[in-house]
Chain A
């Protein structure tokens, strides 16, 4: 325990400090800790380097392979085809059913009349 803080809490606080995410009051507390404790200072430095690396990797723009894009679009085309086919078959089926019902004279008459 350093300065009344648990070890994990210190790690998180210094991380938030390095990322400039603390309130002014918390910032002062951590700065005080960094001034008093050399290990805390080293942690802050490690965090800064780690965050810089994360940011640098974040700037990279990896290329997506054309095969992946083609595959996705092909899947969507197949899905769209089946969707249309389903609508068409359902429509045709409904028309035939209505015709059959009409042919057999099975359509219910309105009870209101």
Chain B
């Protein structure tokens, strides 16, 4: 291919990258600036819940259940997300006294949700000995355009493929990927939620992205 064509193609990729990423990934340097802060309302509610106020707990559950269910569904899949959501809220009820409001309530809730999901996943894995991303570390060849998982299928199928492929990524990497690219958290927040250093969080997201691309190729290959 002539160099000029390559450059043009490259420029178009860059242009699309800017557009797509602005619309879709919500990642980048501004994420830190948008880090969530503890709201007065959440602080009040959590203090009331700590004193055993059911009404306040009910309000907290109704306001934040979407976040819990969403993350659980993306880490565990739809079928296990409901059970995990219930478990998360029971944990919140039991442990809210230990929440001192040093981070945003949502950050604390993400942490409990991810921990609950990873525990649930491990329990399930020990029962089923399911396939994880372990094999992906030995990638024979990078996926080529022929294997391109996102080139030829319709949107709904692609979505299902992507979610199935996500299930094949190692759980910690999957959680990091979900928090970064689906929930739009900064690396500082991802690290806080996963309770790892920021460099580790970045590594997990990097590895998760690569593993997901490979898993997508495999999904497409097996379809």
**Which A residues are closer than 8 A to B by beta carbons?**
7-8, 10-12, 15-16, 18-21, 31, 34-35, 38-39, 41-65, 68-69, 71-73, 75-77, 79-80, 83-84
Contact = CB atoms under 8 A, between A and B. Distances in A.
A53 B206 contact: no
A11 B150 contact: no
A16 B141 CA distance: 19
B1 interface: yes
Question: Do most interface residues of chain A lie in helix, strand or loop, or is the interface mixed?
Answer: helix
A34 B90 contact: no
Given A15-B206, A57-B159, A51 B65 contact: no
B54 A77 contact: yes
Contacts of B20: 48-49, 51-52, 55
Contact of B69 (A15, A41, A62, A73): A62
A47 to B, nearest CB: 6
Interface stretch (B116-124, B192-200, B207-215): B207-215
Contact of B181 (A51, A65, A83): A51
B61 A55 contact: no
A53 B159 contact: yes
Contacts of A12: 206-207, 209-210
21 contacts: A8-B137, A10-B142, A19-B209, A21-B28, A35-B7, A35-B10, A38-B1, A42-B148, A50-B149, A51-B209, A52-B20, A52-B25, A54-B181, A55-B23, A57-B163, A58-B181, A59-B24, A75-B90, A79-B93, A79-B94, A83-B52
A95 to B, nearest CB: 22
